[in-house]
Structure 1
Amino acid sequence: MLDSETRKRVFWLLKRLTSYSLWAKKRDAWEVFAKAFENAVWTWPKNDPERMDADLLPRIYETLSLYNKGLEELGKGRRFVWRTGESLDVVMDRTGMVRNFLYTHPDYWERGSQTAPYPVKVEVLNRLLLASRYEGDYAPLEVPFIPRMSARYSSPGALLDPERYRYQFYQLPYPVFPAEIPDVPATTDLIISSGQRVPVDGIWEPVTVEREKAFGLVPTGVKSVANNGCFNYLVNDTKAPNVRGQWNEAESRTECVGTHWRLLWEDTRYKDGVIPDESTYFREATPAKQTTALAGDIEVNTGEVCPVSGLWAPKGYDRGPVRFVVGAVMSDLLVADVLGEQKAHWVVWHLVKAD
């Protein structure tokens, strides 16, 4: 966090993750998913092994209602909606639950976790659900000031490392930074300690404070302030969190320690009821120029997105090639078992011929 470019990127990302526009996009994507899920509940055959659980519907629409309630307040600059138990905090809890219990077939799920790529029909719904998710979207949520809990971000890698956006069965889009990232504002004189009430919404920097001492004994005034970790977004009237300390070998855990927090930027957005143009937060990555690939050069798994339009063949199976277009979800493969029953198999697809 001493590198200027790193500081600018983290600051820009935290403003993006706490913007009205990002949370509005999350809400809109959730509505699309909700309608698609409801349609699946009412139209997929009752004997369909991929049938959706109707018991999730009330929770899905309750979440949409909470999104609407939270965005109405956020659009007026009222950020208490991210405090524990408030609307957008509850939204994140409910969306996580729906994501974890979307499809509980034992071949694909165990104890709240996906264990294998979903069947194609389920994966289509899953992709709609994931469209409402952004890496780091927990950034503004209150961290309860209790033992063993620390600020959400201890290092910039948690926000900037592309590997943090990759998961076992899917990948979240990495943000596209502007060519010229605005500078981090000049530091302020407002400093609080872990456990104290946060006086204003905004982005805060953990710092160590060294004080001058009268005759080397009694602290008098501040001598120096130095960075002590990654910026975090803190909401007004919550308690400033601790930060991660050293690893405790005896208890096999990282200790949480107190720190000072210095205000970098007070968030006063939307208090006038105006939502500015925030499109710069959602630039699309420039697609790489597609090149002709040789057979077998590119391989993707069932459930992943097709990177190149063309003919693809399942690796290890004597089947003819299938055409997939770029952006489509790669399907599984129906294979007959010893009794002749057709069952879906996860496969590796390799490119035979690009369009």
Structure 2
Amino acid sequence: MNQSIASNGILLPTDVERQQIFYFLQRLSSVTAWRRIFEYYKAWADCTENSVREADRQGWADRTGVTESDYVLILKGLAHCEEGVVRLGKGDKRVFKFDANGEFEMASRTLSHWASMKTRIEEGENGIDEPHTPLWAEFKTTLTALHDAWEECSYQILEPRYLDEPALTIYNSWLRDELKSMPFPAVLPAVPDPLDNTFVRTNEYTPFSGIWEPIEAAPKKNSLLRLFSADPKPQPPFKIMGAMNYLHGGSRAPQIKFSVPGESIRSDTTWRLLWRDDRYTDGRIPEQEQSYRFTEPRTELAQNYSIALAKETVWAESGSAVPVGGTWLLESDLTTKIVLQKGERLPLYQGREVRWVLAEDRVA
């Protein structure tokens, strides 16, 4: 195929678009992508901690819109996200599923709650005592950045809540336009064409996590006929029926949803395994991931939100660039101090990340 064509009215990707879809499914399911998301989650949690601390310092604990209990739930979400990244880095793809192994699904719950809450507050449906909620603007900024980064990857990769939903990646005009705006390397890897083929039909259990492509195959025999002979195995050349998808090992293969002029149709299909996802089981990250680029959030965070500026108190954590020059004291031991210029980074203390507080002799 050299152009998008219609086969029996079904819109199909071009050869180049197939390469692009294969590449971005690998990218969105990579440990590189989810480590990046974890950093946005941590920035949001850090900002929340600073907000709660400042509200407590000001005596606003009963008035702030971001409470200590909110912070605890966000920390639990962060812990699930971190566990998901750790397990994914060891090759465990079950973290993408919607079950007891689904660390990313559990991490998404608090995020989804606050993303919805932020929208309701902005639309006036819910209220918040903003004057007594420290760092509310920063809280929203870090939340939005995390939400946008999360949506970029999760929409095509995480197993949906309802298992009768069709496959997530659908080839249509929207995806075609998205592919045009995505970052790709100058030379895209070829789509694998395995000789030893593995197939799975809709509602059968998928044997491996990886990238599968829907193909045209003979209809499944009824149960009586299958007593006498097995279903025929598809033979090349294979005729594709839509966009490839990232499917999850141990889950039932989904239906496909495809576009025809004027409508979308769901149908059972046969999936062909193009690429089994066995990344990271050897402890290595493929070199290809060094070139991965992402589109969300559209703007990077303007500052490191592990820094909190209060009217009278300035504190920051190890690794942060100090916003104000002067003497910085170790929060847990005020006799330990260092002198830094604005922009220099706060060090670890005895090999650990710690919190530092700015003394009075600050320098602008």
TM-score norm. by structure 2 comes to 0.61
Distance change >3 Å, CA 201–CA 47, structure 1 → 2: closer
Note the C-alpha offset of 1:136: 3.6
In the superposition, relative to structure 1, how do residues 108 and 260 fare at CA in structure 2: closer, same or farther (>3 Å)?
same
Aligned to 1:201: 209
Question: Which amino acid in the other structure matches residue 84 of structure 1?
Answer: F
- One-letter code aligned to 2:22: F
Give the Cα–Cα distance (whole angstroms) in 2 for the partners of residues 205 and 109 of structure 1: 45
Code of the residue aligned with 1:176 in structure 2: it is P
Matches for 1:278-293 after TM superposition, within 5 Å? 278-282=289-293
1:130 pairs, out of 122, 144, 157, with 144
- Contact 1:206–1:261 (8 Å) recurs in 2: yes
Q: Does 1:139 align with 2:156?
A: yes
Higher relative contact order (CA 8 A, sep 6+): 2
Question: What residue in structure 1 maps to residue 274 of structure 2?
Answer: 264
Once the 2 structures are TM-superposed, how far is the Cα of residue 235 of structure 1 from its aligned partner? 1.4
Q: Give, in whole Å, the separation in 1 of the partners of 2:233 and 2:84.
A: 42
Q: Deviations over 1:208-253 (max 9, x none)?
A: 1148xxxxxx975645531111111011111111122689x9xxx9
State whether structure 2 residue 79 is matched by structure 1 residue 72: no
Q: Where does residue 23 of structure 1 map in the other structure?
A: 34
Bigger shift: residues 259-268 or 36-45: 36-45
Structure 1 gap segments, 5+ residues each: 113-118, 165-173, 212-217, 286-303, 307-355
Aligned to 2:310: none
| 1:301-312 to 2 correspondences below 5 Å | none
Shift of the alpha carbon at 1:158? 5.1
Letter of the 1:258 partner, please give it. Answer: D
* Cα distance change of structure 1 residues 281 and 143 upon mapping to structure 2, 3 Å threshold: same
Partner letter of residue 62 of structure 1? Answer: K
- Point out the more displaced range, 64-73 or 238-247: 238-247
> Partner residue of 1:108?
123
Percent of aligned pairs with the same amino acid: 25
* TM score, norm. by length of structure 1: 0.63
Give the secondary-structure state (helix, strand or coil) at the position aligned to 1:256. Answer: strand
1:201 and 1:267 in contact (8 A); partners too: yes
- Residue 10 of structure 1, CA deviation: 0.8
Partner residue of 1:58?
Answer: 72
Structure 2 unaligned blocks of 5 or more: 1-11, 128-132, 220-228, 301-364
Following superposition, the deviation at residue 7 of structure 1 comes to: 0.8
Check if 1:230 corresponds to 2:240: no
Q: Distance in 2 between matches of 1:264 and 1:54?
A: 47
* Structure with greater proportional strand content: 1
Alignment length (residue pairs): 262
Native 8 Å contact 2:208 2:249 kept in 1: yes
Report the Cα offset of residue 62 of structure 1. 0.4
Q: 1:95 aligns with which of 90, 111, 114?
A: 111
160 and 187 in structure 1: CA distance in 2 versus 1, 3 angstrom threshold: farther
Separation (CA, whole Å) in 2 of partners of 1:10 and 1:75: 23
Query: For each residue in 1:167-196, what CA deviation from the matched residue of structure 2 results, as whole angstroms up to 9, or x when unmatched?
Result: xxxxxxx64211111111114521110111
Aligned Cα root-mean-square deviation (Å): 3.8
What are the Cα deviations for residues 61-84 of structure 1, in whole angstroms up to 9, with x where unaligned? 001110121122111101111111
Please tell me whether the aligned partners of residues 151 and 242 of structure 1 are also in contact (alpha carbons under 8 angstroms).
yes
Select 2:187's aligned residue among 180, 183, 186.
Answer: 180
Shift of 1:27: 0.6
1:260 maps to a residue whose letter is: T
Q: Distance in 2 between matches of 1:244 and 1:190?
A: 21
Amino acid at match of 1:234: L
